[in-house]
Homo-oligomer: A and B are copies of this chain.
Amino acid sequence: MCRPLCWTYASGVLAVLAARTDDTNPLSGLVVADRPEPDVPEGWRLVRVKAAALNHHDLWSLRGVGLRSDELPRILGMDAAGVDEDGNPVVVHAVIADPDAGRGDEVNDPRRSLLSERYDGTFAEHLVVPARNLLPKPDALDDVEAACLPTAWLTAYRMLLRSGARPGDTILVQGAGGGVSTAAIVLAGAMGFRVWVATRDAERGRRAANLGADAVFDRGERLPERVDAVLDSVGAATWGHSLRAVRPGGTVVVCGATSGDPSPVELNRIFYQQIRIVGVTMGSRDELAGLLAFCAARNIRPVIDRVLPLHQAIEGFAALEAGDVFGKIVFTIP
């Protein structure tokens, strides 16, 4: 395992940074260091972070995807729960965008940015964000649970909203361990969908069944019938199966490609079967508010793999890079 470098500032805040990017050895650019107390711009708020969850996006940033070298060092992290300057418990929405620039959907603002891209992220004792990026934390969720929601869980929630499926329809979730797929399994069941899961890992399949999956299949296995929608965060390894698994007129919702970019497209299948491919990244502030209310109302708990103190963040990064997770990894700040 890599050992993080350590930088020290006088009277700083502890933070986990991308100091440089490296496509082949992303963890080599990871640094735990003290950073200066952040300035609070007009209209922004200071948050004392209590819990922050890890995402694949943080690994991609360390590989140099979406993070330019002139932005370095940059504090990583998109998900956080904490308290604002007035002591109110808050959850942080990670999309910095103009709500009027995305035609009713701020995530489509062409200049939108995610925390840890143009602005410092959540892996720090103190965080600054625009005031509208703070939402009240429901009492039903503790800080660790609430910190899981703004990225992977919000993405899964939006994927389900955009799947075109109706309650009672069957949803296939590709993969069973990651943050998005575990969220999708739990949320899809709570929304009234029949939930099928395809995974190459039998143990994760068993754990998916424990989360409420109605049936579990091997990756690529022929299904007993075609499904109404597929949620796919895997990419190359599952694309062909997803296109074959969905009924004519059904939807494949994609939010990532952890196994790389598929090839070929199979456009003939897409148009002849009238399949919709819907790309989803994150969700709007309103959708995050909806997700928080949904989790509180239905007693939905995020699936958590492990909780680590922030200064041990590298252990979480290494586990995520190794694919050795089931649910979210959360860092806490005492």
Contact = CB atoms under 8 A, between A and B. Distances in A.
Contact of A271 (B110, B249, B281): B281
Interface in A228-275: 235, 239, 247-249, 254-257, 261-268, 270-275
Contacts of A192: none
B264 A110 contact: no
B267 A102 contact: no
Given A102-B248, A102-B249, A248-B109, A271 B279 contact: yes
A301 B268 CA distance: 29
Interface residues of A, number: 38
A29 B263 CA distance: 32
Interface centre among A255, A266, A274, A280 (most CB of B within 10 A): A274
A276 B268 CA distance: 16
Chain A binding surface SS class: loop
A113 B325 CA distance: 46
Contacts of A103: 249
A222 to B, nearest CB: 15
A318 interface: no
Contacts of A248: 102, 107-110, 112
Nearest to A166: B103
A128 to B, nearest CB: 25
Contacts of A279: 267, 270-276
Contact of A265 (B102, B108, B262): B262
Contacts of A280: 271, 274
A96 to B, nearest CB: 15
A105 interface: yes
Given A247-B110, A266-B261, A268-B261, A278 B281 contact: no
A89 B247 CA distance: 36
Nearest to A105: B249
A277 interface: yes
Contacts of A276: 276-279
